[in-house]
A and B are shown apart, each in its own frame.
Chain A
Amino acid sequence: MDPAGVFAVRYAQDRALVRTRKQWLALALFLGALAVLPMVVGPRLIAVANIMLITGIVVVGLQICTGYAGQVNLGQAAFMGVGAYTAAVLAEKTGLSFLLTIPLAGVAAAGFGFVFGLSAARIKGFYLALTTIAAQFIFHFAVLNLPGSWLGGSNGATVPPATLFGYRITSDTSLYYLILISAAIMVSGAFGIVRSRFGRAFVAVRDDDVAAGIMGINVVATKATAFLVGAFYAGVGGALWAYMLRFVAVDQFTLFNSVFFIAMIIVGGMGSVVGALIGVFVIRAIQELITTLGPELAANFPFLGGDIVFASMNVFLGGVIALFLIVEPKGLMHRWNIVKSGYRLWPFPY
């Protein structure tokens, strides 16, 4: 909804994603703030920001698949893993530049996701979610059992650093810019996808797949495409993850991570790209907070033991997921939209 008094008088205005001068200003300020972040905060927070941005890419993909197309996907971590391993192997064995390996990792993950999306031809709903759990187990099995010289098996695989014109992108700050630019491209792409005819088809299928079919949407193809797109995002995120840690191992991509991704879109709000990013920010920030405060808590309450951090994080996050589903199933983004339309209409109460 536009602010009071703003009307689109040209098609270009009606199509624009950023609609007013103030919104342009806000966007420029936000991107500028992200760009100068490494000069303001310490290396620890930059590392956290890197993880947040990568998770952001992966969760935006999940948002398209689950939030827009309504296909519950519990295999997003496996798709991310496929991307990470593809990037690792391509970079190690063929020495391709990261400019190629990152998109190729996305393509590989998209192919893997598409195969599981195709099962939508036979089943739907939570049966479909179960096949994505199977994807998780098959990914683990494949990595651990393929010959060790291919993927490194249980030892994991090392990744050579990303290099651009002879410059090695290894420091947290240089990685930050690589990840930030990738995230900006992927997120703006997501905004494009969800308002294209594909995005509208996703929403139609989510809301009522029978009605969508009657309107001439190929429902099975749409569902499979949703998986394809979601897995592509996961693959790109996985490739960046590989370049960030310079090491991939199968236990970085577990079912538990997939559950966390789902939690992020629930907290942020289903069916909103910005909501996905907010969910990532909120949950990762809480995780980081608990990790930082954890040792202090353990020191004050020694009877709880030193492993309280992971445990209390789980209690908190599990509680947050349940709380949001019971109290505010539409997520933080919905709350924000209510506030926003409130102040846009002010002082007129209609």
Chain B
Amino acid sequence: MIIDFVNYAINGALLGLLYAMIAMGFVVIYRASKVFNFAQGELVVLGGFLQWWMVISLGLPMYIGIPLAFVLAAVVGLLIERIFFARLVGESVFAMVMVTIGLLVLLRGVVLLAFGPQVRPFPIVFPLQPLVIGELLIPTNLLWGGVLTVVMAIGLSWFFNRTRTGLTMTAVAEDHQVALSMGISVKRSIAFAWVLGCLLSTLGAVIFLSGKSLNFLASEIGFAALPVALLAGLESIGGLLLAGVIVGVIQGLATAYLDPLVGGAVGSVLPFVIMLLILLVRPTGLFGWRTIERV
């Protein structure tokens, strides 16, 4: 009994860390341009398909194919900035966020055109058999993913809070005009943010999909990660870890204990209930540092 509980909690926490990884893509783009990227899930799918293309379709060995997929994902990020956001410097945030909605539709179409709607196998990056410690079963991909998420979160929060480049990106998010007059390249910052966002999504795709099957519906994880980003507060990268664990454990336990009672899906809707509560009770999340204007 108790071991089941611990098992569910640990697996939930690791799944939460995966959400935190996906949410990190949101936060990076939000920190650097104040744009809420609705297309995050599509970026995950695109990253996943790039890896499928390299490793399974072209048959490259994994140690070449996957880095190559990351390079391509970075190129996609650059292209997105060049085609869309470079033209919107100085425009309202509203327009930029709406463009990400357009991007959501567009990327889904591009993925379908390029890779088709079929379910594809994803390369097995992490060993399939779970790690067994006593009676605990821990999926290897989520365990490695958790470690990667922690490392990335620490690295990125150092980058954003301590380095010159990271701080200039925050300035860009605050106001394009001011950033420009201080000699900061707005375009370069936004491009960097999107490249980073694409890379993080691709990394998320490796962890999420390793050894599973892949089709365009995998993009739903983008919205599943929303509650984590909001609980952390959209500006905090380190806070994502705690928020991810909280949401993940709640979801894991709800799936295990509440779903059988009501016939399913509590686990998947509970994060959104949490999200609504956060939005209503404490819109800045746990660690967000800007006060949100209210009326």
Judge whether B265 and A263 touch: CB under 8 Å: no
Q: Does A317 contact B (CB under 8 A)?
A: yes
Most buried by B among A119, A124, A210, A326: A326
Nearest to B259 among chain A residues (CB) is: A145
Complex Cα–Cα for A318 and B112 (A): 13
A169 within 8 A of B: no
Give the Cβ gap from B231 to chain A, nearest Cβ, in Å.
12
Let me know if A124 and B295 touch, CB within 8 A.
yes
B70 interface residue, CB < 8 Å from A?
no
Stretch in A132-140, A196-204, A227-235 touching the partner:
A132-140
A314 CA / B91 CA spacing, docked (Å): 25
Asked if B295 and A145 sit within 8 Å, CB to CB, the answer is no
Choose among B97, B108, B275 the residue with the greatest number of A CB atoms under 10 Å from its CB.
B108
Of the candidate stretches B58-66, B99-107, B154-162, B179-187, the one touching chain A is B99-107
Tell whether, in the assembled complex, residue B223 and residue A122 are in contact, meaning their CB atoms are under 8 Å apart: no
A307 in contact with B272 (CB, 8 Å): no
**Residue-wise interface mask of B (82-117) relative to A, using a CB-CB cutoff of 8 A (1 in contact, 0 not):** 011001100101110111011111111110110011
Would you call the interface of chain A mostly helix, strand, loop, or mixed?
helix
The reply to whether B104 and A145 contact each other, CB–CB distance below 8 Å, is: no
Task: Give min CB distance, B191 to chain A, whole Å.
Answer: 16
A178 interfacial by beta-carbon distance below 8 Å: no
Judge whether A134 and B280 touch: CB under 8 Å. no
Q: A122-B294, A259-B105 are in contact. Are A322 and B99 (CB under 8 A)?
A: yes
Set B103, B117, B262, B273: member contacting A307, Cβ < 8 A: B117
Q: Are B109 and A127 in contact (CB under 8 A)?
A: no
- Any A CB within 8 A of the CB of B146: no
| CB of A120 within 8 Å of the partner chain | yes
Contact A141 B113 (CB under 8 A): no
Which A residues between 310 and 326 are near B, CB-CB below 8 angstroms?
Answer: 310-322, 325-326
A131 to B273, CA, bound (A): 10
B112 touches A307 (CB 8 A): yes
Q: Report the Cα distance A321→B100, complex, angstroms.
A: 10
Which of chain B's residues has its CB closest to A120's CB?
Answer: B295
- Whether the Cβ atoms of A145 and B99 lie closer than 8 Å is no
B192 within 8 A of partner (CB): no
Closest Cβ neighbor of B102 among chain A residues: A321
B6 on the A face (CB < 8 A): no
Q: Name the one of A310, A311, A321 contacting B98, with C-beta atoms under 8 angstroms.
A: A321
Q: Are A144 and B265 in contact (CB under 8 A)?
A: yes
Task: State the main secondary structure of chain B at its contact with A.
Answer: helix
B52: interface (CB < 8 Å):
no
Looking at the assembled complex, report how far the CB atom of A40 sits from the nearest CB atom of chain B, in whole angstroms: 33
* Interfacial chain A residues near B113, Cβ < 8 Å: 304, 308, 311-312, 315
Also in contact, A141 and B105, with CB within 8 A (given A305-B116, A310-B112):
no
Query: With contacts A119-B280, A130-B279, A141-B265 known, is A322 near B102, CB below 8 A?
Result: yes
| Bound Cα distance A319, B84 (Å) | 10
Contacts of B106 in A (CB 8 A): 314-315, 317-319, 321-322
Pick the contact of B108: A130, A141, A314, A322 (CB < 8 A).
A314
Q: Closest B-chain residue to A266, C-beta based?
A: B98
A325–B104 touching, CB < 8 Å: no
Number of interface residues of A (CB under 8 A): 54
Give bound CA distance, A124 to B295, whole Å.
8
B123: min CB distance to chain A, Å: 23
Tell me if A325 and B95 are in contact (CB < 8 A). Answer: yes
Asked if B276 is an interface residue, CB under 8 A from chain A, the answer is yes
B36 touches A126 (CB 8 A): yes
Distance from B193 Cβ to chain A, minimum over Cβ atoms (Å): 17
User: Given A317-B105, A318-B106, A321-B105 in contact, is the A130-B230 Cβ separation under 8 Å?
Assistant: yes
* Residue B269, interface by CB 8 Å: yes
CB contacts (< 8 Å) of B283 on chain A: these are: 122-123, 127
Residue in contact with B295 in the complex, picked from A210, A316, A320, CB distance below 8 Å: A210
- Identify A322's interface contact among B84, B112, B269, CB under 8 A: B84
Instruction: Tell me which of A123, A140, A311, A314 contacts B294 (CB under 8 A).
Output: A123
The 8 A CB mask of B249-266 against A (1 = contact, 0 = none) is 000000000000011111
Asked whether any CB of chain A lies closer than 8 Å to the CB of B292, the reply is yes
Give the residues in chain A near B83, CB-CB below 8 Å: 322
Q: Does B43 reach chain A (CB closer than 8 Å)?
A: no
Determine which residue in A262, A316, A321 has the highest number of CB atoms from chain B within 10 A of its CB, and name it.
Answer: A321
Question: When the two chains form the complex, which single residue of B99, B272, B275 contacts A325, counting CB atoms closer than 8 Å?
Answer: B99
| Structural contact, A134 and B275, CB atoms closer than 8 A | yes
Q: How far is B117's CA from A109's CA once the two chains are assembled, in angstroms?
A: 34
Residue on A nearest B92 in the bound complex, by CB: A329
In the assembled complex, the Cα of A308 lies from the Cα of B109 at a distance in Å of 9
Within 8 A of B (CB), among A192-220: 209-210, 213, 219-220
Measured between beta carbons, the chain B residues less than 8 angstroms from A144 are: 264-265
A-B contact pairs, 24 of them (CB 8 A): A119-B280, A122-B279, A123-B280, A127-B292, A134-B279, A137-B223, A137-B269, A141-B268, A144-B264, A145-B264, A223-B295, A259-B105, A262-B101, A304-B113, A308-B113, A314-B106, A318-B104, A318-B109, A321-B101, A321-B106, A322-B83, A322-B102, A325-B88, A326-B88
12 more contacts with CB within 8 A, not counting A138-B272, A317-B105, A317-B109, are A121-B294, A123-B279, A127-B292, A140-B269, A145-B263, A256-B105, A304-B113, A312-B109, A315-B109, A319-B106, A321-B98, A322-B102
Query: Which residues in A have some Cβ–Cβ distance to B below 8 Å?
Result: 72, 119-127, 129-131, 133-134, 137-138, 140-141, 144-145, 209-210, 213, 219-220, 223, 255-256, 259-260, 262-263, 266, 304-305, 307-308, 310-322, 325-326, 329
Residues of B within 8 A of A (CB): 36, 83-84, 87-88, 91, 93-95, 97-99, 101-110, 112-113, 116-117, 223, 226, 230, 262-266, 268-269, 272-273, 275-276, 279-280, 283, 292-295
The 7 A-B pairs of least Cβ separation, nearest first, read A318-B106, A314-B109, A321-B102, A311-B112, A315-B109, A318-B105, A141-B269
